[in-house]
Amino acid sequence: MRSFAVAVIVVLIIMLLGCVQQTEEVGKKVIHVYCGAGMRKPMDEIAKEFEKEYGVKVLCDYAGSGYLLAKIEATKI
């Protein structure tokens, strides 16, 4: 079950590569991931590996689904 969840998260990260944005630091790219609080531990590992492999900073926002939905709707990203 855990390996399935990790696989799903990896696929989601790959799909979100199009959502990469530039930060104030020239040349640095950041991807912002909204993730359920229960997935913190595996997502931290995945984010670390992703940063190492692609050189893109991963910012994870962990919270409940209601909060994440409200944040997505409010920020439109």
**6 confidence band (pLDDT: 50, 70, 90):** low
Positive or negative CA dihedral for 49, 27, 21, 37? positive
Total domains in the chain come to 1
Whether this model's pTM surpasses 0.75:
no
pLDDT-derived band at 44 (thresholds 50, 70, 90) equals very high
The identity of residue 2, as a single letter, is R
Higher per-residue pLDDT: 15 or 32: 32
DSSP 7: H
> What is the domain-level CATH number for residue 37?
3.40.190.10
Range of the domain at 56: 2-75
